[in-house]
Every structure is written in structure tokens, then in C-alpha cells.
Structure 1
Amino acid sequence: MVKLCVGADDVGDLEAWQKRLMKRHPAPVHHTRMVPKQMGQLLDGGSIYWVIKGVIQVRQAFTDIREIEDRGGRRACELVFDPELIAVDPTPKRPFQGWRYLKPAEAPADLQADKAAQDIPPDLHAKLKEAMVW
């Protein structure tokens, strides 16, 4: 699943937001109105890929997806994540609303801790990647 991380300027903002959430919850959560139709696949090793400033930068594994009622009594959803943020190969992503499913073959690869690309700011890395012509 791909989701815009609205209001975050960098991965540090996402991390700080989730740490604040974990003062009230045992794990990071995100509330949304729609319940994913592909819930089974998401819970079977799936992740949410966060788009920050137009670039997919990190992912988090799903630990649970709960159907809940919002304050108005309407059906809603609580997405629960593993707290670990895993850096991925920065990949440009155009703006969109809500969330989108991401085919496994299209998911950005995880960055290894020793990979030199981590030294390049994600937005620059994404622009370089976009400019590459094979």
C-alpha cells in the first residue's frame, strides 16, 4: 500500500509523529475511512510505503488492520504498523488522494545500511533516478 505522509517534510517528522502516537497506543496507528479490500494480502507480509515530499522513502510492515467505528458511528479502519521504519530506494510518486495498492514487483527495494545511496538526500536520489536513461 502507498500513502502520502501529509505534513511531513522528512522521515524524521514521520518518526516523531509516530512516537507521539505511541504514548497512547502500543504501536503506530493510522485511521482511515475505508477498510482495505485486500486486507489478507496486506497482513501476509505487506507494508505501507510512505510518500514524503513526492518520494517513497520508507516502509512499515502491517501488524493489524482493524475495522472500527468513528466518532459518528460510521465504519472506519485502523491500520496498525510495526514501529520500525525501513528505508527504501527513494522512488518518485505523483500526488494522489487516499491510498493505493502497490504491486509487489513495483515496490521499491529496501536500502541496506551500508548502501552509499543513503548518503544522498532522498529527493535528490529520486531526481537522479528519474533522469537516468538506459
Structure 2
Amino acid sequence: MALHLVKLCVGIESAEQLQSYIEHRQIMALAAGLSDEQVHTTRMVPTRIDELLDGGSLYWVIKGAIQVRQKLIDVRVYQDENGRKQCDLVLEPHLVHTQLRPRRPFQGWRYLKPEDAPDDLQIAGPVTDIPEAMRKELQELCLI
């Protein structure tokens, strides 16, 4: 059964800003002749990697609520220059919008059980066509 991670998306104001940041990093990497692979580095190494790679995702907390997720492709463990373990979370570059789920601040990442993960948004048409404030309001009214 898949296991997920949840992490704060510090410095990002909206899911649209996060998607724009991802796309910008991909463009810059390709322009520099590097891989456009979407990687997030973390100092803590998960011990349940097999479960994470069995269909798990990284859920992003933006402005106090889980709003989007990215599917985990790989977890690469390595040692930094000081000999401390770290890992790269390799992610799909596109975001999947989820039902809003309030989440208090925390440090690092946390495991997220499948039964605790918010459902993906199921609406007709791309979610990105709806302004962020309107999407939140429609969701609070249970219209999407």
C-alpha cells in the first residue's frame, strides 16, 4: 500500500506559483544543458522508501492547507560533503490539485497515511483556469 509524505511549501503563496516555479526551474536546467528532472532535496531520509515508491506522493502545504500533490518517482539517498545522509525526492513535474486540508506548521516532512490524504479535485476542465481565491471559496461551499 502506498505511503505519502507531507511538507510545507515555504515561500510559495499559491499552487499556481508553485507550478510556475517548477516550470521555471525546468527551463533554466534545460538552458544550462542539465536534466529537467524535478528534484526536492531534504536532510531527513525516509526509512519507508519502498512504501513511498509504491504509488506515493508528496503533498504540499501552501498557506496553511494541503492544496496539491506530486507523485514520487524515486528517493535517492546520498551523503553530503560532511558525511551526513540526505536524499533527493524525485517528483513528477505536474501538480495534482487536492481538496483543501488544513495543516498546522511543522518542520521537515511527515509521513501521510493514504486514509489521511485529501482526495484529488474532480472537476470538469482544468483547475488552473479558476483563480485561486475563487477555487478555495467554491471548495468551502462544497461546489467543487
Structure 1 pair 21–72 and aligned structure 2 pair: CA distance change class (3 A): farther
Q: In structure 1, what is the Cα distance between the partners aligned to 2:72 and 2:50?
A: 11
**Following the alignment from structure 1 to structure 2, what is the Cα–Cα distance between the partners of residues 32 and 11?**
20
Q: Secondary structure at the match of 2:50?
A: helix
Secondary structure of the corresponding residue to residue 35 of structure 2 = coil
Alpha-carbon shift at residue 70 of structure 1 (Å) = 2.3
CA RMSD of aligned residues (A): 2.3
Give 1:75 deviation, angstroms.
Answer: 1.5
Equivalent-residue separation in structure 2 for 1:34 and 1:114 (angstroms): 38
Tell me which of 22, 27, 30 is aligned to 1:18: 22
- Aligned in 2, Cα 1:114/1:37: closer, same or farther, shift over 3 Å? same
Question: For residues 52-98 of structure 1, what are the alpha-carbon distances to aligned partners after superposition, in whole Å with 9 as ceiling and x for unaligned?
Answer: 00010000100000012224342210000011200101111111111
Select 1:110's aligned residue among 114, 120, 123: 120
In the alignment, the residues of structure 2 paired with residue 58 and residue 18 of structure 1 have an alpha-carbon distance, to the nearest angstrom, of 13
Where in structure 2 are there 5+ consecutive unaligned residues? none
Residue deviations 1:21-57 (CA, integer Å, cap 9, x gap): 3224332111111111111111000000000000100
Summarize the alignment of residues 1-134 of structure 1 with structure 2, pairs less than 5 Å apart.
1-22=5-26, 23=29, 24-114=34-124, 119=130, 120-122=134-136, 124=137, 128=140
Distance in structure 2 (CA, Å) of the matches to 1:39 and 1:95: 24
Distance, in Å, in 2 between the alignment partners of 1:53 and 1:92 is 9
Which SS does the other structure have where 1:88 is aligned?
strand
Runs of at least 5 residues in structure 1 that lack an aligned partner in the other structure: none
1:5 deviates by 0.3
Cα distance in 1 for residues equivalent to 2:61 and 2:42: 16
Name the count of aligned residue pairs: 127
